Structure 1
């Protein structure tokens, strides 16, 4: 019984860190699925080597050291993840066409609940949410892996330089230098802050209600009234992306007409409002998954609409229904 109890206790202790470790690995890797794989690998390694854990550091620090090594190994084996806007300039709607880029490893969305642990301090919650936004995670992908780890540990998770140095097996001076370089690189990509949205205030709620009404009614005038002038729209796995009202509306009323008649179901992704888009099914019986739409809201307007089209991956991950009935 003693061995069983100690085994269950260890499992419980390790599981207590799963969500925050998944958040860390997601920021490092830019993939919800790879992050979960990395954390599972971390847990297995921790379980197998727990007898060697001598308690010179906390269990949390030890797990982060293992997770960091797992992520660094994965990053050394593959390409960085990207968004369409990381690869090309915006396309004028007159030349817009859908071209899949299967060779590109796309940045992936993630459900908040998988990566944001419950914390008592609202200020900590704001930092955690801001640091899983698509724009921020995309900017992180431009950093070399070790600089990425340093910046996340220092700026997001508020580790001390000495703690990070111990984790990485380097000096405090090296950590500070890496952080300085990482900050400079991140500034080049300007992942500007979004409006706080936890919880949504009354104005934000009204904005999203108007967005749903405009999208479901396919009212382009009402839709553009909600968008910033420089709003962007992307559709991974296609490399096309658009900027500005005219090109977005031109697309929506052209190739995008296929979205007319859709229904939207609210969810949350990457610390941002999101919607599951369901398209009228061809058999006329209800609605089928079409896209996961992640919105970026800044200064009271929508600054970005990212349509993730691989619904066979995203809808199960977000716990979304396989289809909607005819009544929506």
Structure 2
């Protein structure tokens, strides 16, 4: 007498979901939600756009369960849906910009311009929203493929090239799988990959190739906090690379080079007291920056700052002062 082998949980959740069980569908897609969201973020350059894309992906998957023949894994099927939805969104919306895409750097701190509101700017993604992974190699790949510089350069690519590059070189799908997911030919997918690689290579540095060692990084971050909170301009400038940049969307103003970034710290940033608390976004260290305005006895959200490094110094200070970004990173309304 043979014993029937029990169905694996994934197959059983799929069977029940096809029968209309929404809780089974939730269990089926749960392992993939964060990975899908991160993929959509890379495609779109905004965690808020990625929220919309993920919601639409799950809705489309629920409606399309009857046509899913399980010839590929649920993860591949969901990624295919998410990628196509992102491509539709890319075709309808302007690409997300960095400060350098929009205007030249300022040479004076007197006027920073009015905030440019709306779905305009590249936005950061909290590390807490990334998929959990204990594999050191996978964690390293995640950091390299989620950094602000890399995501910013992806936004320069046409949608198809963006999708092919991510599917092939970040998610590890084959040329045939990628072509099938995008409804195109292998030759077309390979051509798009080649063009995307050429564009990415032609761009400037996307981040430090040799990371700062952990102990050196910790010392650098501690020195950065000490210099900022004590408003020590000399100490801050000493931490900066010659070609450092300071951006602050949604303000269009940005500064390029140690002299001008130092001037901005001295003439604008350090005119008020600050408190900094560590956080991480896009695989990069950073800080929740709280400011105390004149006449106030509390520190309130001033922005989220993410740091990049080169040659053992800070090469970029990307500050995001939009309140919705601050809330996304869990900044409190006030601190003492």
Q: CA deviation at 1:5?
A: 10
**SS in structure 2 opposite 1:239?**
coil
Is the counterpart of residue 164 in structure 1 residue 175 in structure 2? no
Q: CA deviation at 1:315?
A: 2.3
**SS in structure 2 opposite 1:159?**
coil
Q: CA deviation at 1:7?
A: 3.9
Give me the whole-angstrom Cα distance separating, in 2, the residues matched to 1:11 and 1:103. Answer: 32
- Output one character per residue of 1:152-205: Cα deviation in whole Å (capped at 9) or x when no partner: 11111111111101101112111111001001111222243336779x711101
TM alignment of 1:8-47, pairs within 5 A:
8-47=23-62
RMSD of equivalent CA atoms: 2.3
Q: CA deviation at 1:219?
A: 0.7
Q: Name the counterpart of 1:207.
A: 220
Give me the whole-angstrom Cα distance separating, in 2, the residues matched to 1:3 and 1:251. Answer: 59
Moved more, 147-156 or 6-15: 6-15
Give me the whole-angstrom Cα distance separating, in 1, the residues matched to 2:18 and 2:121. Answer: 44
Give me the whole-angstrom Cα distance separating, in 1, the residues matched to 2:21 and 2:113. Answer: 55
Is the counterpart of residue 321 in structure 1 residue 332 in structure 2? yes
Is the counterpart of residue 184 in structure 1 residue 198 in structure 2? yes
1:131 corresponds, among 124, 140, 145, to: 145
Alignment gaps of 5+ in structure 2: 1-15
Q: Work out whether residues 30 and 137 of structure 1, in 8 Å CA contact, stay in contact via their aligned partners in 2.
A: yes
Is the counterpart of residue 48 in structure 1 residue 63 in structure 2? yes
**SS in structure 1 opposite 2:179?**
helix
Give me the whole-angstrom Cα distance separating, in 1, the residues matched to 2:296 and 2:115. Answer: 28
Give me the whole-angstrom Cα distance separating, in 2, the residues matched to 1:222 and 1:205. Answer: 16
Q: Name the counterpart of 1:89.
A: 104
Q: CA deviation at 1:298?
A: 2.4
Q: Work out whether residues 228 and 270 of structure 2, in 8 Å CA contact, stay in contact via their aligned partners in 1.
A: no
Q: Work out whether residues 294 and 307 of structure 1, in 8 Å CA contact, stay in contact via their aligned partners in 2.
A: yes
Aligned residues: 321
**SS in structure 2 opposite 1:102?**
coil
Give me the whole-angstrom Cα distance separating, in 1, the residues matched to 2:224 and 2:267. Answer: 20
Moved more, 243-252 or 276-285: 276-285
Alignment gaps of 5+ in structure 1: none
Give me the whole-angstrom Cα distance separating, in 2, the residues matched to 1:2 and 1:82. Answer: 40
Structure with bigger gyration radius: 2
TM-score by length of 2: 0.89
**SS in structure 1 opposite 2:123?**
coil
2:299 corresponds, among 280, 287, 293, to: 287
Give me the whole-angstrom Cα distance separating, in 1, the residues matched to 2:291 and 2:39. Answer: 34
Give me the whole-angstrom Cα distance separating, in 2, the residues matched to 1:251 and 1:316. Answer: 25
Give me the whole-angstrom Cα distance separating, in 1, the residues matched to 2:18 and 2:84. Answer: 29
